[in-house]
Chains A and B, each alone.
Chain A
Amino acid sequence: MDGMHDLGGREGFGPIEVDEPEVAFHHDWEGRMWGMSKSTRQPDWTIDWWRHVRELIDPVDYLSRPYYDSWAQTQIAAFIDSGVFTLEEIVAGKSATAPLARTETMTTAEVIADSRSQASWYDRDIDQAAAFQVGDPVCAKQLSIRHHTRLPAYVRGKPGVIHAHHGAHVFADLSAQGIEQGQHLYSVVFAAGDLWLEAADNNDRVFVDLWESYLEPA
Chain B
Amino acid sequence: MSTFDSDTVSEIHRQLHSHLPSEPALRVKALESLLVEKGLVDSRTMDAWVEAYSEEIGPRRGAHVIAKAWCDPEFKNRLMQDAPAAIDELGYLGNATAHLKVVENTARIHNLVVCTLCSCYPFSILGVAPNWYKTAAYRSRAVRDPRGVLAEFGEQIDASVEVRVWDSTAELRYLVMPQRPPGSDNLGEAELAALVTRNSMVGTQRDLAINAGQGE
Contact = CB atoms under 8 A, between A and B. Distances in A.
B203 interface: no
Q: What is the interface residue range for chain B against chain A?
A: 35 or more
A94 B34 contact: yes
Contacts of B24: 29, 65-66, 68-69, 72
Contact of B140 (A8, A106, A151): A8
Contacts of B165: 204-207
Interface in B1-44: 1-6, 8-10, 12-17, 19-20, 24-25, 27-35, 37-42, 44
A77 B140 contact: no
A35 B132 contact: no
A173 to B, nearest CB: 11
A111 B52 contact: yes
A205 to B, nearest CB: 5
A80 B12 contact: yes
Given A55-B118, A72-B27, A204-B147, 7 more contacts: A40-B35, A73-B27, A82-B3, A83-B1, A87-B15, A170-B171, A204-B146
Interface of A: 1, 5-11, 13-18, 20, 22-29, 31-36, 38-40, 42, 44-45, 47, 49, 51-58, 61, 63, 65-69, 72-73, 75-78, 80-85, 87, 89-91, 93-95, 97, 99-108, 110-112, 115-116, 118-123, 146-147, 150-152, 154, 166, 169-170, 172, 176-178, 185, 187, 195-196, 199, 202-211
B177 interface: no
Given A65-B24, A147-B6, A209-B168, A16 B17 contact: no
B140 A10 contact: yes
A102 B15 CA distance: 29
Given A42-B2, A84-B38, A203-B162, A119 B95 contact: yes
A119 B46 contact: no
A205 B215 CA distance: 30
B14 A40 contact: no
Contacts of B14: 58
Contacts of A36: 28, 31-32, 35, 41, 46
Nearest to A118: B95
B49 A35 contact: yes
A105 B48 CA distance: 9
A8 B167 contact: yes
Nearest to B91: A116
Nearest to B111: A207
Given A6-B117, A29-B25, A56-B10, A111 B49 contact: yes
